[in-house]
Amino acid sequence: QVQLAESGGGSVQAGGSLRLSCAASGRTASWTMGWFRQAPGKEREFVGVMRCCGTSTHYADSVKGRFTISRDNAENTMYLQMTSLKPEDTAVYYCVYDNSRIILSALRLGDQYDNWGQGTQVTVSS
């Protein structure tokens, strides 16, 4: 089991930026790691992920071009750089990790990921 610890949430005005971090406690030979979010009264939503073992990333259409996922392999930490934030980005953001390279067609399915962080709140005001 990989433990995940998120940080970096907060409040920002529309158009602003935030960077979330997710530190993983362990390493596996293969992995998929990234972010989901859930707004009040809404279903959990895929944000984006990176898959082992290159740097290929996959994003939801709603964040493409505004959010960027990166990973520091030495620190075993993933980042979500969020720019041009909108009020509709307001949500609790969850870091996810699975010890397999999830196939493309299943990346958006939350039940594919065995490990979830505790979540960090992001609030964007208009």
At residue 1, the pLDDT reads 85
Cβ count near 62 (within 10 Å)? 14
Classified as helix, coil or strand, 34 is: strand
Cβ count near 19 (within 10 Å)? 14
Mean pLDDT value of segment 80-87: 98
Integer Cα distance of 77 and 25 in angstroms:
9
Cβ count near 81 (within 10 Å)? 14
Residue whose pair of structure tokens reads 């979500």 in the numeric block: 80
pLDDT-derived band at 28, boundaries 50, 70, 90? confident
Q: Which tops the pLDDT comparison, 48 or 26? A: 48
Integer Cα distance of 123 and 9 in angstroms:
8
Is 10 a residue whose pLDDT tops 80?
yes
Partners of residue 98 on adjacent β-strands? 32
Beta strands 120-125 and 10-13, pairing class:
parallel
pLDDT-derived band at 89, boundaries 50, 70, 90? very high
